[in-house]
Amino acid sequence: MLHINKIRENQESYLALLKIKNIDAAKLFSSVIAKDDERKATQQKADELLTKGNQLAKQIGELYKIGQAAEANALKNESSTIKESSKALQAKQAELEKEIQDILVQIPNLPHPSVPQGKSDENNITIKEVGPIPTLMKGAKPHWQLTTDYSLIDFELGNKITGAGFPVYTNRGATLQRALINYFLDKNINAGYTEYLPPHLVNEASMFGTGQLPDKEGQMYHSAEDNLYLIPTAEVPVTNFFRDVIVKEFPIKCTAYTPCFRREAGSYGKEVRGLNRLHQFDKVEIVQIQHPEKSYETLDIMVNHVASILDALELPYKILQLCGGDLSFASALTFDFEVYSAGQQRWLEVSSVSNFESYQANRLKLRYKDENGKIQLCHTLNGSALALPRIYAALIENNQTAEGIRIPKALQSYTGFDIIK
């Protein structure tokens, strides 16, 4: 969330930056500044009344001391009127503060100045492309056929017990999924991240803190009775560990495996077949809380870390810098990873690594003390390391042979086998 004082001081430059995200925030800025002006005027009136009320209280006390009760009682009536007016002003101020908050949460984070303008993924910039595109045998299949042929995933069973988008992993398919989770966690732990196993349900304050609310209500699974949300990613509970915290030492590095839940809009065709789009899926997340001066250096380190995992899995991938139109509501700068899925002959997104700067920290009240002892906002970053469904799809498609599905060397100690026959 942007700070009202920063909006006042940088109105024109902020408007220009938000246009990179294809957002015209002029009306929101004008409205929130007007509300803040009204709040300040109300605060000033309230302060003046408070001062006058204190002065009257002192006069009333002195009058009683010298036996002038009639004069004191007359002033008490005036004091009561001031108290009633003060209560009304306090109520007005609280109302204005809520209205200001309601406007601020509608304003997305500012993009980093390096973010290219554009409205769709066609305007994303390819930063790097790694690895040869696999040449598959004649008759190669997409993963939704391979998972059936090799009894790895039962989509129909998931549909029976829950619905579309909830697969059941079976036999060596389940082993492969578990192996990937453990491998990703170990890679992250070896890179200095502390592992957590957080709850899969969070409260409204947690969803607000990381920016899912009020922006993405329609994408979340919500238990109305308990007012709890199934998490869309481990980013939400893990980042909220540090809500209302004053950080004493940087960086804070966390990793967590969780299932993730999203009410994706339903559609048909190969774009969403099989593992391409799910309502429940597994993901290993990395989160960092960092000093503002080091957050972009940290972003580069996180991007390189995700790349190293894909290198070890021998998957061809490319890194994209997202344009303004593709950036999330809360992100200042995001790099996406896509792997090539040879059975489908297309690129699949498997990770986003983002710097949110102080946007989430302002909502979370996640702060630190600078060298002068002044309270400042931290920067937050997160990334997928990695999201499993499309990694799984590309891995089995790219490694299918006449003998079976070969397992990359990096995973063989985790699976206990080097081929699925």
- Give the DSSP letter string of 394-411: HHHHHTB-SS-EEPPHHH
Query: Could you tell me the residue ranges of all domains in the chain?
Result: 4-104, 121-420
CA atoms within 13 A on the CB side of 139: 2
Domains 4-104 and 121-420 share a fold: no
Cβ–Cβ under 8 Å, residues 206 and 222? no
Burial bucket for residue 90 (CB in 10 Å: 0-12, 13-18, 19+): middle
At 355, list the tokens. 């710097």
Phi-psi region of 19 (alpha: psi -120 to 50; beta: other; left: phi over 0): alpha
Residue-by-residue DSSP string for 69-97: HHHHHHHHHHHHHHHHHHHHHHHHHHHHH
Q: Which CATH architecture has domain 4-104?
A: Orthogonal Bundle (1.10)
Candidate CATH numbers 2.40.110.10, 3.30.43.10, 3.30.930.10, 4.10.410.60; the one for domain 121-420 = 3.30.930.10
**H/E element, 251:** none
The segments of the chain whose pLDDT lies below 70 read: 265-271
Through-space distance between the first and last CA atoms of the chain, rounded to whole angstroms:
52
Give this prediction's pTM: 0.92
Residue 267: predicted pLDDT: 46
What tens digit of pLDDT does each residue of 157-209 get? Answer: 999 999 999 999 999 999 999 999 999 999 999 999 999 999 999 999 999 99
Interior CA angle at 199 toward 196 and 200, to 5°?
A: 120
pLDDT tens column, 322-359:
999 999 999 999 999 999 999 999 999 999 999 999 99
Cis peptide before 214 (omega within 30 of 0): yes
Backbone dihedral region for residue 67 (phi beyond 0: left; psi -120 to 50: alpha; all else: beta)? left
Contact in structure between 266 and 247 (CB atoms under 8 Å): no
The predicted pLDDT at position 175 comes to 98
Pairing of strands 194-196, 201-203: unpaired
Q: Where are the alpha helices (DSSP H) in 131-245?
A: 143-149, 155-161, 171-190, 204-209, 235-240
- The rounded distance, in Å, linking the Cα atoms of 128 and 122 is 16
Answer yes or no: are the C-beta atoms of 254 and 193 closer than 8 Å. yes
